[in-house]
Chains A and B, each alone.
Chain A
Amino acid sequence: MSSQSTTPLEYQGQQNQMTILGFWIFLGAEIVLFSTLFASYFVLEHNTAGGPTGEELFMLKEVLIETFLLLTSSFTCGLAIHEMRNGNKRDTIVWLIVTLLLGLGFVYMEISEFIHYVHEGATIQTSGFLSGFFTLLGTHGLHVSLGIGWVTLLIIQMMKRGITPVTARKVFVASLYWHFLDVVWIFIFTFVYLKGMM
């Protein structure tokens, strides 16, 4: 790294430090948001109202593929940050694009999973359980989709401007968001799918 300081580029300057701290606090709010969604899902979990249950519905194979796609994307996102800290613009962008492709794969799989459920007669209007299920997963999926749009914008900026304290901070903050969504997915996988199939 060319800078003589040992501080990573994204932490240089007070505004950058404040933005990163602010984003951590925002993630705190996101944790509350998802906790509320999870808690509400647990309340409604058994209220199937004669509709399908999770056990009848969930498709383990597809969900496992989704999990691998998203977890891998978190890893490649980490690689992108690693390359960014090495000052390697091209590789940073390449890993970001790989991350996005994996994210797109996840969103595609999740949408087809939802379409499949709807064909099975399990819609968001069927029961309290399915309202909670689709809203929790839909919120997560929407976050991933927004993240894809966001990172796309950042890739364009990094291509134009290179790795500067500002672009580095932006990409770093987006990576925090991406990892956070990964953590949420681990909870969804465990407490929605695995618990639902047991």
Chain B
Amino acid sequence: MTWDQFFVTGDPLILASQIAIALTMVGLVVLVTYLKRWKWLWKEWFTTVDHKKIGIMYILAGVVMFFRGGVDGLMMKAQTSRPELEFLDAQHYDEVFTTHGVIMILFMAMPMLIGIMNVVIPLQIGARDVAFPKLNALSFWVFFVGAMLFNISFVIGGSPDAGWTAYFPLAGKEFTPGVGNNYYAIALQIAGIGTLATGVNFIVTILKMRAPGMTLMKMPMFTWTALVTNVIIVAAFPILTVALAFMTLDRLFGTHFFTVAAGGDPMLWLNLFWLWGHPEVYIVVLPAFGMFSEVISTFSRKNLYGYKSMVASIVGIAFLSMLVWVHHFYTMGNSGAVNSVFSITTMAIAIPTGVKIFNWLFTMRKGRIKFTNAMLWSLAFIPCFTIGGVTGVMLAMAAADYQYHNTMFLVAHFHYVLIPGVVFAVFAGLYYWWPKMFGFKLNEKIGYWHFWLFVIGFNVTFMPMFFVGLDGMSRRMFTYSASTGWGPLLGLSAIGALILAAGFAALCYNIYWSFRYASRDVGNDPWDARTLEWATASPPPHYNFAKVPEVSQLDEFWENKKAGITGLKKNEIEEIHMPSNSWTPLFMAVAFGIVGFFLVFEWFIPAAISAVLIVIGLILNSFDYDHGYHVSVEEVEETERKWRGDLK
């Protein structure tokens, strides 16, 4: 391999990116050195095991990835804005839609949701951290390294270009001989380890670390959705692990899992991929439902309507999510009977989802609704998501799907599901929990700009795609002729994308503005909310709660406020045990990244040598008998006094 194969050359866009990346990296190093922040970065962030900081790092990574995935999306929209444009060639367009899909699902939606879960769940159940804080740090770092490995593909070696679904035989060595799809297989594998560990960690946290008295049916709804989501993660991610391992073996070692020749079976990939891929949709959408539930209940000043039916429908959705994967390939040679079964299971999902929609509506009924930013996102979610859901039922009908399959109609459908269902929820969650994370609110006025630009932009971008899809435009077409008549609608769609991007810019500006100018005097409970995370300081002390709260009912914090029970007595404070920081998670993740990078380029000897680093990490970890440290009563008193005033 020569240098000009190693670095991607010959495209001015990519050259500009390479220069920009190099400058940013140098700039960051210079900045941190100039501000003398290396030690701070290392102690407070790189080695932290605090769930709140890990959550913030997840969210930060998610925002950066949103930018990257968004730029990919804008490039696609620019290319198709007019017939026969020559902005991107077919190959470049293939790469861009592939990375857009992978990044938005796995490296934007997932970390955003897992990040908010990290920040909120332990606080919401009255715990001091997650069950395995060090494993949590490992989860984050391997996710991050996996994401970075995937992201450098477009400047080093070449991007994957077989779609985010990487269907075989196209994604096999025969048809895509470059390293692009190696990046796909290996980077996703590394990030997947982190996700699986998160799944185990949060199930144990929620099952074992709830505040005394908080029975399962007294858990906040977001905690319920997080629990079920993590169960789906544990049930579904190992399937992806195996599928990616087969893909790696096929591409690197010449096996025949998915090849056409020598007894492989490309349909095996489709089945495995969607056996993971469909539950994955619910992995990202269920926590979003939980966040909407919290936000709608808080800002309607009412308890959540139909709590039990909410729980039942979450569990029902989780169960059904495992039984619908064939609907992604109705047209690929199944018998009529098979298609019918999967058609029915798919449509059945609309029932529990409908239950939830009505529960949210009934929660708002007769409520005194406050139109905060978080609430606006939740309100916009309901009609937009319903459009996604209804078109989903259309797609669920196998016979009709022969018309819609692989058209822009499908693309519009899943953007109408995932953007309202996940992105709106993340925004609602960020505006809602921002004061808890950072001790200041995001500006509501800039937030309105963010909201209106984004929601209008979203509808203008994706609504026309339903119609060009019905008119026969298939997905992933890099160009089209004027005689198709799609030009005006796709042009409108491209304008929508610009508005959407302006909305995202407004969010970034809002973060910047609020960071500099917003009032730091928000108190512990700025929204007059209902759940336990609001019972402690904003931002919470590293030990979360001076005294672990006791719970006897749903929305304990709200009920206590009404009953006038607040405050903390001096004699209730005891020594608090906390886990120590650790650098092994970061070390392990970097080791995985190095091994992964060498494997991508099929440099097996360097890969084998650097795999020793992983083994060293495991050994160090096994011999680590650090039992954490204790926070003294005086320190807790001091910290609590700062936000509570004098203790009685």
Contact call B238/A128, Cβ cutoff below 8 A? no
B50 CB to closest chain A CB (Å) equals 17
Contact (Cβ within 8 A) B263 A154: no
- CB neighbors of B among A1-56 (8 A): 14, 17-19, 21-22, 25-26, 28-30, 32-33, 36-37, 40, 43-44, 47-49, 51
Nearest CB in chain A: distance from B251 CB, A: 12
Between B203, B245, B246, B262, the greatest number of chain A beta carbons within 10 A of the residue's beta carbon is seen for: B262
B242 within 8 A of A: yes
Does B131 have its Cβ within 8 Å of any Cβ on chain A?
Answer: yes
| Chain A residue contacts of B625, Cβ below 8 A | 161, 166
The one of A32, A37, A132, A150 that contacts B622, using a Cβ cutoff of 8 Å: A150
Q: Please report which residues of chain A, range 128-150, place their CB below 8 angstroms from some CB of chain B when the two chains form the complex.
A: 128-129, 131-132, 135, 149-150
Residue of B238, B256, B268 near A127 (CB, 8 A) is: B256
**B428: interface (CB < 8 Å):** no
Known: A25-B204, A131-B255, A157-B623. A40 touches B246 (CB 8 A): yes
Name the B residues within 8 Å of A127 (CB-CB). 256, 262-263
Write out the residue numbers on chain B whose beta carbons fall within 8 Å of the beta carbon of A131.
246, 249, 255-257, 264
**How far does the alpha carbon of A40 sit from the alpha carbon of B264 in the complex, in Å?**
11
- Interface residue? B155 (CB, 8 A): no
Give which listed residue, B208, B234, B253, B272, contacts A40 with CB less than 8 A: B272
Instruction: Let me know if B619 is at the binding interface, CB within 8 A.
Output: yes
**CB-contacts of B158-208 with A (<8 A):** 196, 199-201, 203-204, 207-208
Within the complex, which residue of A33, A132, A170 is in contact with B257, where a contact is CB–CB below 8 Å? A132
- Is A124 on the interface with B (CB-CB < 8 A)? yes
Is A198 on the interface with B (CB-CB < 8 A)? no
A148 to chain B, nearest CB (A): 13
Flag if A32 contacts B238 (CB, 8 Å). Answer: yes
CA distance A115 to B269 in the complex (A): 29
Residues of B within 8 A of A157 (CB): 622-623
Report the Cα distance A20→B260, complex, angstroms.
44
Write out the residue numbers on chain A whose beta carbons fall within 8 Å of the beta carbon of B275: 36
Q: Mark B115-133, 1 if CB is under 8 A from A, else 0.
A: 0000000000000000110
With A33-B238, A36-B239 in contact, is A26–B263 under 8 Å at CB?
Answer: no
Contact A18 B208 (CB under 8 A): yes
Other-chain contact of A22, B200, B235, B242 (Cβ < 8 Å): B200
Which residues between 89 and 148 of chain A lie within 8 Å of chain B, taking CB atoms? 124-129, 131-132, 135
A181–B254 alpha-carbon span in the complex (Å): 27
Residues of chain A within 8 A of B239, CB atoms compared: 32-33, 36
Interface flag for B154 (CB, 8 Å): no
Give CA–CA (A154, B259) in the complex, Å.
Answer: 42
- Min C-beta distance of B321 to chain A, whole Å: 14
Are the C-beta atoms of B238 and A44 separated by less than 8 Å? no
Q: In the docked arrangement, what's the CA distance between A47 and B272, Å?
A: 18
Residues of A within 8 A of B330 (CB): none
The chain A residue sitting closest to B625, CB to CB, is A166
A43 near B268 with CB under 8 A, answer yes
| Complex Cα–Cα for A38 and B243 (A) | 12
Which residues of chain A have a CB within 8 Å of any CB of chain B?
14, 17-19, 21-22, 25-26, 28-30, 32-33, 36-37, 40, 43-44, 47-49, 51, 124-129, 131-132, 135, 149-150, 153-154, 157, 161, 166, 170
Selected A-B contacts with CB under 8 Å, 5 pairs: A14-B208, A29-B200, A128-B256, A157-B623, A166-B625
Q: Other than the known A19-B132, A22-B203, A48-B263, what 12 A-B pairs have Cβ atoms closer than 8 Å?
A: A18-B132, A22-B201, A22-B204, A33-B241, A36-B242, A40-B272, A44-B268, A126-B262, A128-B259, A131-B255, A149-B615, A166-B625
